[in-house]
Amino acid sequence: MSVLDSRTPAGPMAERWTRHKFDLRLINPANRRKFHLIVVGTGLAGSSAAASLAELGYRVTVLCIQDSPRRAHSIAAQGGINAAKNYPNDGDSVHRLFYDTVKGGDFRARESNVHRLAEVSTSIIDQCVAQGVPFAREYGGLLANRSFGGAQVSRTFYARGQTGQQLLLGAYSALERQVGAGRVKLLARREMLELVVVEGVARGIIARNLVTGEYERHAGDAVLLCTGGYGNVFYLSTNAKACNVTAAWRAHRRGAYFANPCFTQIHPTCIPVSGEHQSKLTLMSESLRNDGRVWVPAEAGDGRAAAEIPEEQRDYYLERKYPSFGNLVPRDVASRSAKEQCDRKKGVGESGMAVYLDFRDAIARDGEAAIRARYGNLFQMYERITGENPYRVPMRIYPAVHYTMGGLWVDYNLESTIPGLFVLGEANFSDHGANRLGASALMQGLADGYFVVPATIAAHLAGRKLAPLASDHAAFDEAESAARERITRILAVQGKRSADSLHRELGLLMWNHCGMARERAGLGKALDEIRALRSEFWENVRVPGDSKDFNQTLEHAGRVADFLEFAELLALDAREREESCGGHFRVEHQTPEGEAQRDDEHFAHVAAWEFQGQGATPRRHLEPLNFEVVHPSTRSYK
C-alpha cells in the first residue's frame, strides 16, 4: 500500500485553480501542431475536449464506437445541468455549489476538484448558449432555472427533458467544425482494445475497425479516455447498450489505478422490469419528483388497484420519514427507501418490485395542462413503454443502476497513474465522491473537456521529453498481438452459451450482491460466483462468425469478458470498504434508524487499485481525503 499524490495545489481553496493555471507550463501556439492527441469517446467529455484542443492548435484523432459521434450516451441525459449563476437570486454561489457537491458526495470527493468544478460551471453555460444550445427561457428572454434533485436553490439549466441531447449536439457541432477544418480526424465505429505504453508513458492505442475487423495503431503524445461509466456490469441499467468498461479496464491492466469501483449510483425513478426479455431500463427524469408523490399501500400484500386504495391507507413514506426534504431526498436515500418498502412486501404492480409516483394531487392543484407542459414528453415515454396513462393512474417506478462515480484514478490534472493518459468525464472517479447529485454529470463532463484538460495537458506535453514515435515500435507489436490473441481466443471457444446470456447472469448476481444493499458474506459469495462465471465464459461462450467483418456478437462478447474481470474488482472494493457512504450501503454499517453510517476515521480516503496480473489479488492504495473547508457531517434530510 502506498499513498497517492493528487498534485493538488496549495493555497486558499477559491484561488487554487487560478493559481494552478498560472503555474502550469504553456505551449507556444506554433508548437501545438507538433503534438498529436488521441481522444477515445465522443460524449460530452470527449467531444468538448477534442474540439477545444483542436481549436488551440493541437492535432487530434478522435474515435467512437457508435456510427456517429452524436450518438454517445450523454445524449440520453434528461434533467439538466447545474451552474452557480444565481440568476434566480435565491442565494446560490460557487461556494454553495461546491459545498452541496462535497456534502452530496458524502465526503468522499477531493475538495479541490469539486471547487474547480463549481467555478467553471458558469463558463459552461456561457459556452453552450453561444453555440446555440436552446435552453429553456423565461418570457423576458432570459434563461430559466429549476430546482433539481433535492437542491434548495434553482441552479439547473435545461432544454425540455432533453438537456443531454442538446449539450451533446452543441459539443458535437464544435467537434464537427474542427473535422471540417481538417484539424480533427474522426474515426467512427472503432473500439479501443489496448493502450500502448512506451517507457512508462501512454503513447497510443490499438483500435479495431468494427466494420472491417481490421486492427489499427494510433500513435500520439497523449491519450484521453472519455469512455463513460461501467454501469452495464449490472446488465440492466439505464446505460445504452454499447456502454462498457473495456477501454478503462484495458488501461487498468496496463497500470492505471482504478478508484472506488464500488461507488455506483442507483437512480430511484426508472420504469420497472417487465419480463425476462428486458434489455435495458429507462429512466424517468427525477424532475418528476418535484410534483409527483411517492407512495405504497400501508398494508403489506395489498393487491388492490391504486384508485381503490383510500387516502388513509396509503403510505407516503418519503414525506413521512423525511419531512423537510420529502419526495426530494437524494437519489441514494430515495432508492434505498423504495427497496425497503418492496422488501416489506408493499411493492406494487405485477412483480411487486415497484412503488407509485403519483401526480393526482399536482394535477388537481395545477391542472392537467400545466403538468403536461412540464413533463409531457416524459409522460408520453412512460405510456409508450408501459401502455398505461400516467395522467389517470400513478406511474410505477423502481430504482435502477444509472451512473458510476468510481473510475480510473486521476490527479488534479486529470492524469492517471500512467503519465500521458488522461481520463475525463464519467470514466474518471474524481468529483462526485460516493454519490452524484442530479444535473452534475453533464457539468463535470463539459468542465473536464472544455476547461480543465485544455489547460492541464500542457503540464504533460511541455514537462516531459517525448521522443518521436512510429507505430511500428515494438510496444505496438506487443499490444496488437495481445488484442488479436484475445479475440481469437473468444472465437475459438465454440461452446453453447451466448455472450448475452452470460452477461445477464453476471448482471443479476451483481444486482443481488453488489446492488442497493451489500454485506460481507454476500460479497464473498459474489466473488466466488464471478470467478466461476468467468471460467464458464472461457469454456462455454459461443460467438458465431469471424473477426474479419462486422460482427456485433463478437464486439459484445469482448466487452462481457472485460466486465467479468472488472466485476471482481467492484465486489472486492465493496467488501474492503467497511462503512456505508453515498451509493455504497453496507448492511452491517447503519444507524438504528437504518441510515447509512460513515466511518470517517478509517475510510475518509480514495481506494485506488493496482492491477497485479491475471488471477492475482490487486493492491489497494490510498489517497487520504482532507476536508479543509467543508467539515464532514452526517447527512440529514429529515
Partner 1 sequence: MRITLRVWRQPGPAASGAFETHTLESVSPDMSFLELLDVLNERLVGEGKSPISFDHDCREGICGACSLVIDGQAHGPDDETTTCQLHMRRYRDGATITVEPFRAQAFPIVRDLVVDRSAFDRIIAAGGFVSVNTGSAPEANSLPVARSLAEEAMDNAACIGCGACVAACPNASAMLFVAAKISHLQLLPQGAPERETRVLALVAAMDREGFGNCTNHYECGAACPKGIPVASIARMNREFVRATLRASPPRAATTDGA
Which residues are designated catalytic?
331
Q: Is 353 in the site for partner 1 (CB under 8 A)?
A: no
Please give the Cα distance from 593 to 160 (Å, whole number): 38
Shortest distance, position 605 Cβ to partner 1, whole Å: 34
Give the cell for residue 337: 427507501
The conformation of residue 546, written as its DSSP 8-state character, comes to -
Q: Is 364 in the site for partner 1 (CB under 8 A)?
A: no
Q: Three-state SS string across 317-349, please?
A: HHHHHCCCCHHHCCHHHHHHHHHHHHHCCCCCC
Helix (H) or strand (E) holding 40: strand 36-40
Closest CB to partner 1 among 446 and 604?
446
Shortest distance, position 3 Cβ to partner 1, whole Å: 35
CB under 8 A, 24+ apart: contacts of 474-477: 475/196, 475/197, 475/198, 475/203, 475/204, 476/196, 476/204, 476/206, 476/217, 476/219
Please give the Cα distance from 606 to 261 (Å, whole number): 10
**Which listed range, 65-73, 109-117, 225-233, 525-533, lies at the site for partner 1 (CB under 8 A)?**
65-73
Closest CB to partner 1 among 241 and 602?
241
SS3 67: coil
Shortest distance, position 618 Cβ to partner 1, whole Å: 31
Q: Is 533 in the site for partner 1 (CB under 8 A)?
A: no
Q: Is 136 in the site for partner 1 (CB under 8 A)?
A: yes
- Cα Rg for the chain, rounded, in angstroms? 24
30, 130, 305, 492: which one binds partner 1 (CB under 8 A): 130
Please give the Cα distance from 258 to 268 (Å, whole number): 26
Shortest distance, position 552 Cβ to partner 1, whole Å: 6
Q: What angle, 0 to 180 degrees and rounded to 10, lies between the N-to-C axes of helices 44-56 and 163-180?
A: 30
Q: Is 548 in the site for partner 1 (CB under 8 A)?
A: no
What value, to the nearest 5°, has the Cα angle with vertex 248 and ends 246 and 254? 100
**Which listed range, 31-39, 156-164, 319-327, 404-412, lies at the site for partner 1 (CB under 8 A)?**
156-164
Q: Three-state SS string across 236-285, please?
A: CCCCCCCCCCHHHHHHHHCCCCEECCCCEEEEEEECCCCCCCCCCCCECC
Stretch 228-287 residues interacting with partner 1 (CB under 8 A): 240-242, 274-275, 277-280, 282-283
48, 112, 260, 264: which one binds partner 1 (CB under 8 A): 48
Closest CB to partner 1 among 269 and 416?
269
Stretch 427-486 residues interacting with partner 1 (CB under 8 A): 450-451, 454
Shortest distance, position 529 Cβ to partner 1, whole Å: 22
Q: Is 387 in the site for partner 1 (CB under 8 A)?
A: yes
Q: Is 500 in the site for partner 1 (CB under 8 A)?
A: yes
Please give the Cα distance from 426 to 410 (Å, whole number): 12
143, 462, 482, 508: which one binds partner 1 (CB under 8 A): 143
Please give the Cα distance from 609 to 409 (Å, whole number): 9
Sketch the per residue contact string, 159 through 178, with partner 1: x for CB under 8 A, - otherwise: xx-x--xx--x--xxx-xx-
Q: Is 351 in the site for partner 1 (CB under 8 A)?
A: no
Shortest distance, position 336 Cβ to partner 1, whole Å: 25
587 CB contacts (<8 Å, ≥6 apart)?
Answer: 517, 518, 519
Shortest distance, position 466 Cβ to partner 1, whole Å: 24
Closest CB to partner 1 among 545 and 624?
545
Q: Is 188 in the site for partner 1 (CB under 8 A)?
A: yes
Residues 74, 456 contacting (CB under 8 angstroms) = no
Closest CB to partner 1 among 76 and 517?
76
**Which listed range, 105-113, 320-328, 547-555, 587-595, lies at the site for partner 1 (CB under 8 A)?**
547-555
Shortest distance, position 312 Cβ to partner 1, whole Å: 33
The conformation of residue 392, written as its DSSP 8-state character, comes to T
Residue type, 339: K
Stretch 5-44 residues interacting with partner 1 (CB under 8 A): none
Q: Is 384 in the site for partner 1 (CB under 8 A)?
A: yes
Buried b (16+ CB within 10 A) or exposed e, 530-560: beebbebbeeebbbeeebeeebebbbbbbbb
Q: Is 209 in the site for partner 1 (CB under 8 A)?
A: no
Sketch the per residue contact string, 605 through 624, with partner 1: x for CB under 8 A, - otherwise: --------------------
Residues 65, 46 contacting (CB under 8 angstroms) = no
Shortest distance, position 131 Cβ to partner 1, whole Å: 5
**Which listed range, 118-126, 331-339, 340-348, 457-465, lies at the site for partner 1 (CB under 8 A)?**
118-126
Shortest distance, position 94 Cβ to partner 1, whole Å: 15
Shortest distance, position 593 Cβ to partner 1, whole Å: 36
Q: Is 66 in the site for partner 1 (CB under 8 A)?
A: yes
Please give the Cα distance from 511 to 509 (Å, whole number): 5
Site size with partner 1, rule: CB under 8 A: 81
Give the cell for residue 13: 481553496
Judge residue 65's burial from the number of C-beta atoms within 10 Å of its C-beta, 0-12 exposed, 13-18 middle, 19 or more buried: buried
Closest CB to partner 1 among 3 and 550?
550
Q: Is 492 in the site for partner 1 (CB under 8 A)?
A: no
Please give the Cα distance from 427 to 410 (Å, whole number): 10
Q: Is 52 in the site for partner 1 (CB under 8 A)?
A: yes
Closest CB to partner 1 among 34 and 280?
280
Residue type, 253: R
Q: Is 528 in the site for partner 1 (CB under 8 A)?
A: no
Give the cell for residue 581: 457512504
Q: Is 126 in the site for partner 1 (CB under 8 A)?
A: yes
Stretch 549-608 residues interacting with partner 1 (CB under 8 A): 549-550, 552-553
**Which listed range, 6-14, 104-112, 121-129, 306-314, lies at the site for partner 1 (CB under 8 A)?**
121-129
Residues 397, 272 contacting (CB under 8 angstroms) = yes
